Amino acid sequence: MAEHLDAEQWGDWWRNRSLTSFHGHFRHNYDGSLRLFWEERFATLPRGAAILDLATGNGALALLAAEYSATHDRNFRITGIDYATIRPESLQEDHPLLADIRFLGNTPMENTGLEDASQDLVMSQFGFEYGNMPATIREIRRLLRPGGCFSAMIHHRDSAVLEQAREALAQTKRCEKSTVTKTAAALVELQQKLAREGSLDTQDQQRAQKLHHALASELDKLNRYARQLKDPSHVRMFTQSIMVLFDRRNAARISPEQRLEAIDRLTTENLGYRRRMKDLQGAALADKDFLTLKRLLEQQHFASPDIRPQEYANRHFCHTVSTCLPPGSGLSSPDPYP
Ligand SMILES: C[S@@+](CC[C@H](N)C(=O)[O-])C[C@H]1O[C@@H](n2cnc3c(N)ncnc32)[C@H](O)[C@@H]1O
């Protein structure tokens, strides 16, 4: 049964000042063949074109459009919508062009409230597949001018991203099952007692010793598990975060309260990562879903939707969709390139 992140849970992610939803990747934005794909789309647009980024998150794709517009003197008018409360303003220091984009949080892609026939390009990077497909396609058709285009990068169930997500999901589950955080917290509570009372009775001393052994053995098991993985980055981060807290060299630097807070944070991060990976698995489309998508687009008069695999670093990264409305179709534009 697929678990879906709701708008509030996504909002928690965007509060952490991430440009994309990729854990530890694309810190400076989508690059290489992904950036190229989008730049080819932007190159076809006239000066002053209106672009809408669906499920924009903190605006990574909208930012690519703003950068293209600035370097190619296109004066694009870019809007990014998302149903979560998003925080692109928290990234403006590193990415000043985010300030040129109109962001609308708490706005579902199935019902954006934007004007009919107001957009030249509706686009989405790993966002479209999270919504209701038929309703979103109807909304995209409503929003596009005659001749307007829709392009998206969409997660594919057999892609490298999904393979990595499955591995990451297994890692989060393993970390959760290991009880490392519970043992670590119990140990810190005894440290607090020691600081408070100046000594521990024999029973507590024995308990502390047992907890120490249990913690070492659980960390050892996790480290052995990590050695079998292709990319053990999550388990490594997890074990190292705990080990730092109990490193004697940090004894005076980190208070027991700070240790408990760090353990709590780690538990929340692990749970959040598990949920995001589960959500990603639920959102990714299989080949048969792409056939449905093609049919739905054709029903809304989109011309010959081009759906194909997209590579990144020589691996199947996702699928792309590109299609346009015929020039004579759709609702007429109230505002052609002012
Ligand atoms: C994987 S993130 C991608 C964000 C961004 N496009 C990027 O590439 O960084 C998916 C986004 O879809 C948003 N989302 C999910 N369902 C939505 C819906 N029905 N309407 C609008 N946004 C939605 C989430 O809030 C989240 O920000």
Q: What is the mean pLDDT of residues 282-292?
A: 98
For ligand 1, what atom is nearest to the CA of residue 14?
27
Q: Are residues 120 and 267 in the same domain?
A: no
Residue 53 lies in a domain: yes
Band (pLDDT 50/70/90 cuts) for residue 21 is: confident
Q: What is the mean pLDDT of residues 280-289?
A: 97
Distance 125 CA to ligand 1 centre (A): 9
What's the pLDDT score for residue 235?
A: 96
60 lines ligand 1 (CB under 6 A): yes
d(C-alpha 229, C-alpha 112), whole Å: 42
Residue 87 lies in a domain: yes
Band (pLDDT 50/70/90 cuts) for residue 240 is: very high
Q: Is the pLDDT of residue 1 over 70?
A: no
Q: Is the pLDDT of residue 335 over 90?
A: no
CATH assignment at residue 68: 3.40.50.150
| Residue nearest to ligand 1 atom 7, measured at CA | 20
Distance 56 CA to ligand 1 centre (A): 6
Q: Are residues 61 and 88 in the same domain?
A: yes
> What confidence tens digit (pLDDT) does each residue in 24-48 have?
788 899 999 999 999 999 999 999 9
Please give the distance of CA 328 from its chain centroid, rounded to a whole number: 37
Q: Are residues 143 and 289 in the same domain?
A: yes
Residue 334 lies in a domain: no
**Rg of the chain over all Cα atoms, to the nearest angstrom:** 24
Residue 1 lies in a domain: no
Percentage of residues in the chain having pLDDT higher than 70:
96
Residue 335 lies in a domain: no
Q: Are residues 269 and 288 in the same domain?
A: no
Which stretches of 256-333 are DSSP H helices? 256-283, 287-299
Residue 333 lies in a domain: no
Residue 331 lies in a domain: no
Task: Return the axis-axis angle of helices 180-197 and 233-246, rounded to nearest 10°.
Answer: 10
Of 280, 297, 313, the last residue of a domain is 280
Distance 210 CA to ligand 1 centre (A): 45
Fill in the amino acid letter for 148.
G
Distance 306 CA to ligand 1 centre (A): 23
131 lines ligand 1 (CB under 6 A): yes
Q: Is the pLDDT of residue 337 over 50?
A: no
55 lines ligand 1 (CB under 6 A): yes
The pTM (predicted TM-score) of the whole model is 0.89
What's the pLDDT score for residue 253?
A: 87
180 lines ligand 1 (CB under 6 A): no
What phi and psi values does residue 89 have, to the nearest 5 degrees? Answer: -60, -25
Q: Are residues 22 and 129 in the same domain?
A: yes
If one counts the domains in the chain, the total is: 2
Q: Are residues 168 and 153 in the same domain?
A: no
Domain that holds residue 130: 7-157+284-324
Distance 213 CA to ligand 1 centre (A): 43
68 lines ligand 1 (CB under 6 A): no
Distance 170 CA to ligand 1 centre (A): 23
Q: Are residues 135 and 259 in the same domain?
A: no
Residue 86 lies in a domain: yes
> What confidence tens digit (pLDDT) does each residue in 81-112 have?
999 999 999 999 999 999 999 999 999 999 99
Distance 130 CA to ligand 1 centre (A): 7
d(C-alpha 338, C-alpha 335), whole Å: 7
Q: What is the mean pLDDT of residues 204-223?
A: 96
Q: Are residues 11 and 124 in the same domain?
A: yes
238 lines ligand 1 (CB under 6 A): no
Please give the residue that has the higher pLDDT: either 306 or 337: 306
Q: Are residues 241 and 171 in the same domain?
A: yes
> What confidence tens digit (pLDDT) does each residue in 105-141 have?
999 999 999 999 999 999 999 999 999 999 999 999 9
Q: Are residues 145 and 289 in the same domain?
A: yes
Question: Among candidates 303, 290, 48, 299, which has minimal Cα distance to 150?
Answer: 303
What's the pLDDT score for residue 331?
A: 52
Pocket-testing residue among 18, 130, 279, ligand 1, by greatest number of atoms within 8 A of Cβ: 130
Q: Are residues 207 and 265 in the same domain?
A: yes
Q: Are residues 223 and 297 in the same domain?
A: no
What's the pLDDT score for residue 3?
A: 65
30 lines ligand 1 (CB under 6 A): no
Q: Is the pLDDT of residue 334 over 50?
A: no
d(C-alpha 44, C-alpha 25), whole Å: 29
DSSP state of 98: G
